[in-house]
Amino acid sequence: MALNTRQNPENGNLEVQVGEEWVLFEEYRKKQIDDAYLNSIKFLRERLGEDSAKEPQKSDASTETESNQ
| Residue 15 near residue 5, CB atoms below 8 Å | yes
Residue 67 confidence (pLDDT) above 80: no
Domain range summary for the chain, segments of one domain joined by +: 27-69
At residue 38, the pLDDT reads 95
pTM of the model: 0.59
| Residue 3 near residue 18, CB atoms below 8 Å | yes
Per-residue pLDDT tens for 4-63? 999 999 999 999 999 999 999 999 999 999 999 999 999 998 888 766 656 655 545 555
What is the pLDDT confidence band of residue 2, given thresholds at 50, 70 and 90? confident
CA distance 69 to 65: 7
Phi, psi angle pair for 5, to nearest 5°: -125, 160
CA distance 55 to 69: 22
Write 50-57 long-range contacts (CB < 8 A, 24+): none
